[in-house]
Amino acid sequence: MSEFARLKDKLSGLDRPYTVALTSGKGGVGTSSLSLLLAAGLASQDVRILLIDADFGLGNQHLFVGLSPVFSAEDVLDGACTIEEARVELSPNLCLIPARSGLIDTKLIPCIEMRQLVKTLTWIRSNFDLVIIDGGAGMSDRIATIAELTDAVMVVTTPDIASIADSYAVAKYLLQGKSTAQLGFVVNRATSDDEGKRTAKNLMQMIAQFLDYESNLSAYVLESDDFGVGRKFHGGLDPKSWNNSLGSGIRAISEAISRSMPDDPSYWSGEHWTPTHAISKLNNQMINDDKIKRDSGIQGGYVHAMPELESSSSRKDSL
């Protein structure tokens, strides 16, 4: 059974979409590119995919596919439109919810009504098998919230030492938070199979030794001319146009996601899909951030409130 077929078979046993977020410690490592390629690859195998660009204010998924959408994910959260109105259909099995690019006012307080939220979750649940979230880069409350609302988080890195260090920092940040998502890693732009495997192995050993977290979810993607940051994809979203190394890498990520899913579908209680959990969590954080901004007297800038990290006695923290 192929990687795509195995994942599709597991998804068919669930009563709601599985949710995976891709994020990274630093920008420019290919998180957005891999999110789109993964979505396109799975969609070509008849898996119904919803790709959400959650890099608010710095969204670029629509730029990769050469579109200028009217609505965005920010508009959905703000109650300015429904999620159906914001969606962009990229293929019969792939829909995109884009994010704005160049958003200056980051003081976003979602005001979506409960009835609309229930409709939104119902629409996603009825129309998709897998939700892929492009979480962007860095450590922030937004990333922590995304991790809390997803089933698995794949941290994207490259083999260079700075990227690896930043990926470790993101993993540490997420593991000290409240997320229960499975944590894995994708090594992008490896120059060889050996470098890809070695980088992933070393990173997972660091996580196990210093953070006391065992992860067997990893994949690597070889350096490819088929895509690149800052330019449109060569050959578009048709996996048949990709070279063998790129196709193999995307299948490897799919296989890692499949392994993150327990064989027993009853493992999921559906807690991420209750009407109040997602919006109340994000809304409360945004309101707190806005209060800090007002109390500080800052009008032109934006003060970002880092959450208080909760240390766990079951995890080492020696770095």
Note the pLDDT of residue 2. Answer: 81
Q: What angle do CA 10, 11, 12 make, to 5 degrees?
A: 90
Mean pLDDT (the chain) is: 80
pLDDT, tens digit (0-9, with 9 covering 90-100), for 45-64: 999 999 999 998 889 999 88
Considering only residues 241 and 251, tell me which one the structure prediction assigns the higher pLDDT: 251
Structure tokens at 224: 């490819």
Averaged pLDDT for residues 269-278: 54
Structure tokens at 240: 């048949």
Note the pLDDT of residue 236. Answer: 59
Averaged pLDDT for residues 239-245: 86
* Dihedral sign computed on CA atoms, order 70, 76, 82, 88: positive
Query: 226 falls in which pLDDT band (50, 70, 90)?
Result: low
Task: Read off the DSSP letter of residue 272.
Answer: G
Averaged pLDDT for residues 147-170: 95
* pLDDT of residue 216 exceeding 80: yes
Q: Is 30 left (phi over 0), alpha (psi -120 to 50) or beta?
A: left
Task: State the burial class of residue 119 (Cβ atoms within 10 Å of its Cβ: 0-12, 13-18, 19+).
Answer: middle
Gyration radius (Cα) of the chain, Å: 19
* pLDDT of residue 239 exceeding 90: no
Polymer length of the chain: 319
Of 128-137, 200-209, 240-249, the range with the lowest mean pLDDT is: 240-249
The phi, psi pair for 261, rounded to 5°, reads -100, 115
Query: 115 falls in which pLDDT band (50, 70, 90)?
Result: confident
* pLDDT of residue 88 exceeding 70: yes
Structure tokens at 187: 């090594």
Averaged pLDDT for residues 171-183: 91
Structural domains present in the chain: 3-296 (3.40.50.300)
Query: What is each CA distance from 231 to 59, 66, 117, 134, in whole angstroms?
Result: 14, 10, 35, 17
Note the pLDDT of residue 111. Answer: 63
Structure tokens at 43: 């969609």
* pLDDT of residue 117 exceeding 80: no
Match 């996996």 to its residue by tokens: 239
Q: What angle do CA 74, 132, 7 make, to 5 degrees?
A: 165
Which DSSP string do the residues of 136-204 spell out, in sequence order? EES--HHHHHHHHT-SEEEEEE-SSHHHHHHHHHHHHHHHTTT---EEEEEEEEESSHHHHHHHHHHHH
Considering only residues 263 and 121, tell me which one the structure prediction assigns the higher pLDDT: 121
Query: What is each CA distance from 142 to 17, 54, 108, 151, in whole angstroms?
Result: 21, 9, 11, 16
Averaged pLDDT for residues 165-191: 94
Note the pLDDT of residue 242. Answer: 85
* pLDDT of residue 287 exceeding 50: no
Note the pLDDT of residue 314. Answer: 39
Query: Which residue type sits at 135?
Result: G
Of 61-75, 101-115, 120-134, the range with the lowest mean pLDDT is: 101-115
Match 């050993």 to its residue by tokens: 205
Measured from the Cβ of residue 213, the count of other Cβ atoms closer than 10 Å reads 18
Task: State the burial class of residue 70 (Cβ atoms within 10 Å of its Cβ: 0-12, 13-18, 19+).
Answer: exposed
* pLDDT of residue 309 exceeding 60: no
Tell me the CA end-to-end span of the chain in Å, nearest whole number: 41
**3-state SS assignment for residue 311:** coil
Averaged pLDDT for residues 9-16: 88
**Residues 204, 185: contact at Cβ < 8 Å?**
yes
Considering only residues 108 and 225, tell me which one the structure prediction assigns the higher pLDDT: 225
Query: Which residue type sits at 60?
Result: N
* pTM to 2 decimal places: 0.82
Note the pLDDT of residue 142. Answer: 84
